Amino acid sequence: MSLPPSVDNQALASTTLFASWFCPYAQRIWIALEEKRVGYRYVEINPYETAADGGDTKTSLSLDEKRRRYPKWIECSPRGLVPALDDCGVGVADSMVCLEYLEEVYPDQPLLPGPPSGRARLRFWAVYANEKIIPHYYRLLMSQDTEGRERARAGLVDGLSEFAGQMDPIGPYFTGGQFTWADLALAPWYERLRTVAAAYRSFEMPVDGVATARLDRWFKAVRARPSVAVTLANEAELVRNYAGYADDSATSDASRQFRGAV
């Protein structure tokens, strides 16, 4: 499945985004390119073996096979991971590194606005999302025992509640009226919490919580942004794609990173 970007003429774009439609890390960079209005070419990467019936096996390709199929991608991403960028011949990999690069090279439409203190705060809460929220999402999906799932569920609620507690009280975005790194860092996973985690693990935030109301208001505004709307995957396809996480058979880098971690 490939989701085309909103680019008028990809042939003239000097920036290439290597991404996979289902990958939340890649969606971060996709959103950032849209926000910054950078002309780009989207290249869909399928990092998995293909089954006899044409479907994905969810068995990761070897690095050598990835290099054979997608040589330009591997030139930019030596570990064979999405997202990656080729920007006028400069290769950049890793979602947070790509965000830093885009912010420095394309400073218009900043996602890290304001003084150094404000930018440091946005970086801090982006890192917080990476370390205190996102791992619990994967652990909740992959855990095959009740205790592990409940521990991950509690970690998710705690992490999301603390994140919400740092949001501007009026909003709608993390710092108020401007969409920034803090919003971008969490948004792809919040979409998966309300679709994938809800489908496989019945996840939801406490219905009467202050944090829940703030997060709902935040994500309603985030999801309505054109930059986010154009990158959203079909919900049914997204849920289907994560079946390997739910039965702990996934072989992706994220699954290996978070499998069995506490």
pLDDT digits (tens, 9 = 90+) for 150-202: 999 999 999 999 999 999 999 999 999 999 999 999 999 999 999 999 999 99
Determine the residue type at 132: K
Q: Which two tokens stand for residue 106?
A: 């394309």
The residue extents of the domains of the chain are 10-105, 116-258
Model pTM score: 0.92
Mean pLDDT of all residues in 7-20: 75
Report the CATH superfamily, name and number, of domain 10-105: Glutaredoxin (3.40.30.10)
What is the dotted CATH code of the domain comprising 116-258?
Answer: 1.20.1050.10
pLDDT digits (tens, 9 = 90+) for 55-74: 556 788 999 999 999 999 99
Contact present, 236 and 196 (Cβ < 8 Å): no
d(CA 70, CA 47): 10
